[in-house]
Structure 1
């Protein structure tokens, strides 16, 4: 007599009984779901699990495909493991590291004793396809952490050994694909045959792993040229190497040795040096007899644009330049004229929520040396008012304009290029969990926003997580397409910041109830943060970019 469990399938809004111990994949087949792109993982009581997860109690289950963020992460992790196995089989003395997302794919560094060529890329792609065609199962094994650490050390995977031995966990797990062992901090698909679409191409001195488009998984993401972003990632990785730290395991060991203060001080100093270099370039730029009169600063949510602009202003003042901030928010159209989004609500992130002709007219007059009265937008009445402040630019002044649309060419189409200096700011995380597990840059920004929203806006973590997809959609539309137009990019991420944010984020994330959809993301972030050794923020200077989110800043916001 079988003991039965009752499963509620959110995809079909129906219940069905199954034998105890059944796998999610068998449950998927039992509900006869016809998902167009199949399934790659599932949420079980709002917690993401692999399809080989076995069920012993009544559960709510929602099956995911790669059109969801969680499903795509499962697909990409599995694809990365296939790439690792292909490289291991082709180059036994070589290795590969998956370093960061760029150009709508993932930049990988193939470590050989020579430069890589197109023939290497062809061989790797062919081997990956062979592994996929064999439909090899991904096998997950749980064991004592000490045993797994020894296993990774035997395979020369010191990055994974360091990560796990500093995690403080009694038990851990690892994955096996044929004879290849590896570690991934999330679910994988059941077998290699689940990977339907991929490509790998030569990309500068490395490789670019291409993945399907989330909205249309039948086609690959277009390769978007992002030379400047790649340069920023590589610059910060050089800094990490100077510090002797490239992975979280390295970082944890350094902190356990009492080196945390040095890491904080050097990271802050490197960032300040970069800001000073940008200020020097603005000051010295003089094209066709024209100096820079307008600094445009853009970047996605929680990238630290505000603190960056304040620190840049200080560096400009040390160069004899008086910065004057202008807020794009004061140039909103009156609320009744604000365009509507597809949900029928006012879309305040739309480029056309700005009174573009009025803004351009005022900016043109300012740059011509004329005096103008600046507007002020009243967010209570939804109307523009006059501030009474009058401004005229002199030879020692530069306008600082910060906003999500600052790099959009349509914002300042008639302002001479030589009068503008464009800066893109983002938190581009450069430390790796290990050589095969990068840290998504969006996770860095989401954690910053969760902490700030909770501390200053009285929003819960579930409210911030629920809003995040719409925030990201606005960034995809209005910010990311223009990032490569920048004269320079500034990385606001700090090597140590996730270890510091851990102390703030964990108690907030633990308040997310299990019965809400946002629990799965909160659980994922908590698991991710668990790999970091905690650091107190008492060593952070009051001018740190991180203070914008944690509090204790010497700047006024």
Structure 2
């Protein structure tokens, strides 16, 4: 009889029959089976029900991990959708954006979700979880998948299969509810111990725990301006008829993508022009501070905003916060003993404020310069003096933190937060993560301009996000305006650059599981020729050939 060998994390091996599932030998993986949400099989994330048919290495994906948190959230959303289906199959939920540690949901028909329905949903969801029901994954033929999705009323998911036509389609089921498979889930509902649903806006928030503390919900911090920005873009998407990957596919198939690109770029430019007008209307603004997470398009946005300010009579001057690093020998160290260039203390805050006060008093200053090769800061930069119509633009991760510019009066500052807040969804129940959008931008840019392989970018992404959570996201509410830098066609362009880079990551590399996930993510999008991207588009910051100089 054939046998397969499974290599375990403790260095031991297990010989077993082909078809054995990870859940069958879970006790050999860990002392705490309840904390294992999935497995990493030869560096690919799979369900505990995955049948193993060849020699492989297997590691547990635990609750207290990024991968574990993603499996948990995905399953939580699926169980909630099944609960709503049991209440009334005619109710179709539509996932929106994330807010805090939660996802915003509305009804697909646009009607408000009233408290009595939300209470019914909570009760039904708790029932499904208490029963510890199995969540099954199975394959059906294409024709059967279409029939299932149409009967379930999952129109957007069904439309995805108009443009992606595999002979077999994997589906997830819970009771009478079935949905197309996108990524691994928990094997049963009983794992879902920590969650809540709260009324919010026209719908509700489904809240979940952090990866650091899977047993408790974090405190909810509302960010109304961010919510309003999302809602504006969602409304815009509905107006132009592009809200999902399927609707984008349809535009490409009908050869209307050129018009959509121009519409998207024009709308974004209008938003930038609106912000320039806000700055003008404030009258006393002398300093525009721009901040946002990695790959938000801050550099191009600053240049575009400068042009809009020029158009209404200002003369913008851009100062780089990178020039104000205090020097490698004075930079605080992180927990690993490495220089922490992302903390506020890595900047010469005193000099920043002295320079700003002098400039606003009409004095001439000499800007500092920082040599990234030697790690030395010197006051040898160009001289700068402000005229009557001059306005300063400063771009950097600490722009929203008032501790960066305590000597500048609030009336003289305008704080702008940037992020690619895509309003597109995959389908009714699967959203496109802002973080994934940024990571794909970063992978492409790092390859194009820094020669860094995709595995290297993925490997340092957790560290990048950690810095964002510490130094950027807590200050979002301080923003005077929020600019969405996403372009709803961009993933179809980035796909051309990113896919070959991700396919070069091998199963022997830890980053393979993330590469597989991102490739699945990109697979639903059509391709769009990069030559169609305007020369001054924010997207050019990542794919190259911009008319702006960086």
Per the normalisation by structure 2, the TM-score is: 0.98
**Alpha-carbon distance in 2 for matches of 1:95, 1:350:** 44
- C-alpha change, 1:523 and 1:500, in structure 2 (3 Å) is same
Which of 416, 425, 431 aligns to 2:424? It is: 431
Structure 1 residue 465 displacement after superposition: 0.4
Gaps of 5+ in 1: none
The answer to whether the 8 Å contact 1:104/1:224 transfers is no
What CA deviation, in whole Å up to 9, does each residue of 1:397-428 have, x standing for no partner? 00000001111111112311110110000111
The answer to whether the 8 Å contact 1:149/1:165 transfers is no
The answer to whether the 8 Å contact 1:375/1:386 transfers is yes
Correspondence list, 1:202-241, <5 A: 202-241=199-238
Question: Which residue of 1 is the match for residue 531 of structure 2?
Answer: 538
Structure 1 residue 388 displacement after superposition: 4.7
Which of 413, 416, 421 aligns to 2:414? It is: 421
Question: Which residue of 2 is the match for residue 16 of structure 1?
Answer: 14
Structure 1 residue 219 displacement after superposition: 0.5
What CA deviation, in whole Å up to 9, does each residue of 1:330-349 have, x standing for no partner? 11112110000000011111
The answer to whether the 8 Å contact 1:325/1:400 transfers is yes
What CA deviation, in whole Å up to 9, does each residue of 1:33-66 have, x standing for no partner? 2238511111111111111100111111111022
Question: Which residue of 2 is the match for residue 387 of structure 1?
Answer: 380
Structure 1 residue 222 displacement after superposition: 2.0
Question: Which residue of 1 is the match for residue 294 of structure 2?
Answer: 301
What CA deviation, in whole Å up to 9, does each residue of 1:70-105 have, x standing for no partner? 211111111111111111222332211111111221
Counterpart secondary structure, 2:255: coil
The answer to whether the 8 Å contact 2:106/2:112 transfers is no
The answer to whether the 8 Å contact 2:369/2:381 transfers is no
The answer to whether the 8 Å contact 2:230/2:423 transfers is yes
Structure 1 residue 175 displacement after superposition: 1.1
Question: Which residue of 2 is the match for residue 261 of structure 1?
Answer: 258
The answer to whether the 8 Å contact 1:321/1:398 transfers is yes
Counterpart secondary structure, 1:214: coil
**Alpha-carbon distance in 2 for matches of 1:44, 1:32:** 12
Structure 1 residue 135 displacement after superposition: 1.4
Correspondence list, 1:143-158, <5 A: 143-158=140-155
Matched, 1:481 2:474: yes
Matched, 1:188 2:185: yes
**Alpha-carbon distance in 2 for matches of 1:444, 1:247:** 15
Question: Which residue of 1 is the match for residue 277 of structure 2?
Answer: 280
Structure 1 residue 164 displacement after superposition: 2.0
Structure 1 residue 187 displacement after superposition: 0.5
- Per mean C-alpha deviation after superposition, the further-off stretch among 238-247 and 103-112 is 103-112
Which of 240, 243, 246 aligns to 1:246? It is: 243
What CA deviation, in whole Å up to 9, does each residue of 1:12-41 have, x standing for no partner? 232122222110111213x06223851111
Matched, 1:107 2:104: yes
- C-alpha change, 1:155 and 1:388, in structure 2 (3 Å) is closer
The answer to whether the 8 Å contact 1:349/1:474 transfers is yes
- C-alpha change, 1:236 and 1:553, in structure 2 (3 Å) is same
Structure 1 residue 363 displacement after superposition: 1.2
Correspondence list, 1:117-136, <5 A: 117-136=114-133
Structure 1 residue 137 displacement after superposition: 1.0
The answer to whether the 8 Å contact 2:30/2:60 transfers is no
**Alpha-carbon distance in 2 for matches of 1:22, 1:556:** 57
Counterpart secondary structure, 1:349: coil
**Alpha-carbon distance in 2 for matches of 1:36, 1:399:** 57
The answer to whether the 8 Å contact 2:276/2:305 transfers is yes
Counterpart secondary structure, 2:166: coil
Per the normalisation by structure 1, the TM-score is: 0.96
The answer to whether the 8 Å contact 1:295/1:422 transfers is yes
Question: Which residue of 2 is the match for residue 310 of structure 1?
Answer: 303
Counterpart secondary structure, 1:40: strand
Question: Which residue of 2 is the match for residue 171 of structure 1?
Answer: 168
**Alpha-carbon distance in 2 for matches of 1:496, 1:75:** 29
**Alpha-carbon distance in 2 for matches of 1:239, 1:116:** 21
**Alpha-carbon distance in 2 for matches of 1:114, 1:498:** 30
**Alpha-carbon distance in 2 for matches of 1:136, 1:183:** 18
Correspondence list, 1:364-513, <5 A: 364-513=357-506
Matched, 1:65 2:62: yes
Question: Which residue of 2 is the match for residue 3 of structure 1?
Answer: 2
**Alpha-carbon distance in 2 for matches of 1:310, 1:222:** 37
**Alpha-carbon distance in 2 for matches of 1:258, 1:117:** 41
Counterpart secondary structure, 2:36: coil
Structure 1 residue 186 displacement after superposition: 0.3
**Alpha-carbon distance in 2 for matches of 1:202, 1:137:** 29
- Per mean C-alpha deviation after superposition, the further-off stretch among 514-523 and 31-40 is 31-40
What CA deviation, in whole Å up to 9, does each residue of 1:456-493 have, x standing for no partner? 10110001000100001011111110112100101111
CA RMSD of aligned residues (A): 1.4
- Per mean C-alpha deviation after superposition, the further-off stretch among 32-41 and 492-501 is 32-41
Counterpart secondary structure, 2:404: coil
- C-alpha change, 1:143 and 1:260, in structure 2 (3 Å) is same
Q: How many residues are treated as equivalent by the alignment?
A: 550
The answer to whether the 8 Å contact 2:292/2:419 transfers is yes
Structure 1 segments, 4+ long, off by >4 Å, are 111-114
- C-alpha change, 1:491 and 1:112, in structure 2 (3 Å) is closer
**Alpha-carbon distance in 1 for matches of 2:43, 2:295:** 26
**Alpha-carbon distance in 2 for matches of 1:449, 1:551:** 12
**Alpha-carbon distance in 2 for matches of 1:36, 1:347:** 37
Gaps of 5+ in 2: none
**Alpha-carbon distance in 2 for matches of 1:6, 1:47:** 17
Which of 188, 196, 199 aligns to 1:199? It is: 196
The answer to whether the 8 Å contact 1:405/1:478 transfers is yes
